[in-house]
Amino acid sequence: MTTGEVKTLYSRTYPWRPPRRIGRTETVQWHDVDRVNETHYLVADIARDNVHLLNIETGTIVWKWRAEQSFPRNGGGAYPYDWTHINDVELLDDGRIMASLRNQDQVVFLNRSGLEESWTLGGEDEFETIYEQHNPDYIPTKMGGPAVIVADSENNRIVEFQRSEGEWVESWTWQDRTMSWPRDADRLPNGNTLVTDTAAGRVIDLNTDGEIVWSYEIQMAYEAERLGTGDESAGGESAAALGLPSREPGDVVDTEQAKPSLVSRIPGMITSLFPNKLVHGVMFLLPGWVGVYELLGAMLCVGSLFTWGILEIRWRSVEIQFRNPIQFNR
């Protein structure tokens, strides 16, 4: 798998500075990089809300698209701190660029002149389409597209859209009872779909019938690729071309995940009482080994200590009253 040799092609380090209320933060945060050729790389820059083409030989930016050119500052996250959260960028075969603006709930298509607005997938707060998505993959016409398969993270599903008559139409979706905050989905050459299900702590392989044929437990994984199958979904066909059936939570059969015991369903029953975004945010901040049971145990301990403290204060006040009774004179 490796020769053990490491060669640094390019690196850039910026000193971290506290965010300022006026102006932009000086922090550099590159969330994704797509290799164009030996000297040029596309970069998704979260801190500066842009997509740029970097020449690593000269260290210069030769092209840049800024989200401010096409999107109002009052949308997405709180400007200027994590405003767009551009989390993915991909160079397409036709020379265009696809990028994921998570906080705007949109996947956008760019050319060298700027945004191709008619190709935008999703919309600000149109949560029924996509909701704070991650890692969209483009499937070209020669593979049954144009189509985009995307991890619809806050909707707890994998969804694919097919381009039809100038619009994006939902063509396939997959979700089971376990799925929680998925952040990557790759269509493999054999028609299977490799999914990284982050908050559920697993990577799963779905066959063309929508069944889980392989699963690996791993805490808070972000992205997975099947080695030897090409970059992301490069070797896979669209769901429309393959005729993939959509699957809802109750449709997934013949797997352990589809027939959970009552005990194994308790975490899902509890987390379903709260908004997905809140649950995913808490799980992201906690250590990887902390699950729903561990969190409930910690909450129970904190609650017990708090109750104990209140009772101790009450008992202390009662004890003082008994030791120093109030005297009444007739």
pTM confidence score: 0.79
Cβ burial 156-168 (10 Å sphere, 16+ → b, else e): bbbbbbbbeeeeb
- How far are the Cα atoms of 54, 93, 220, 267 from residue 203, in angstroms, in the given order? 32, 28, 10, 19
Here the tokens at position 169 are 């139409």
Is residue 272 pLDDT above 70, yes or no? no
- At 327 the pLDDT is 56
Instruction: Return the HEC string of 239-269.
Output: HHHHCCCCECHHHCCCCHHHCCCHHHHHHHH
- At 17 the pLDDT is 55
- At 310 the pLDDT is 87
- At 239 the pLDDT is 97
Residue pointed to by tokens 């017990």: 304
DSSP track, 91-121: E-TTS-EEEEEGGGTEEEEEETTEE-GGG-E
Is residue 19 pLDDT above 60, yes or no? no
Report the amino acid identity of residue 80: P
- At 11 the pLDDT is 84
Q: Select, from the ranges 181-195, 214-228, 286-300, the one with the highest average predicted confidence (pLDDT).
A: 181-195
User: What is the arithmetic mean of pLDDT over 75-83?
Assistant: 85
pLDDT digits (tens, 9 = 90+) for 216-267: 998 889 999 999 998 899 899 999 999 999 999 877 754 444 444 444 444 5
Alpha carbon of residue 282 to chain centroid: 14
Please tell me the distance from the alpha carbon of residue 315 to that of residue 330, in angstroms, as a whole number: 30
Is residue 121 pLDDT above 80, yes or no? yes
pLDDT-based confidence at residue 115 (cuts at 50, 70, 90): very high
For the chain, what percent of residues have pLDDT higher than 90?
Answer: 57
Please tell me the distance from the alpha carbon of residue 296 to that of residue 294, in angstroms, as a whole number: 5
- At 81 the pLDDT is 79
Here the tokens at position 191 are 């028609």
Please tell me the distance from the alpha carbon of residue 281 to that of residue 261, in angstroms, as a whole number: 26
User: What is the arithmetic mean of pLDDT over 280-299?
Assistant: 69
Query: What element of type H or E holds 329?
Result: none
Is residue 104 pLDDT above 90, yes or no? yes
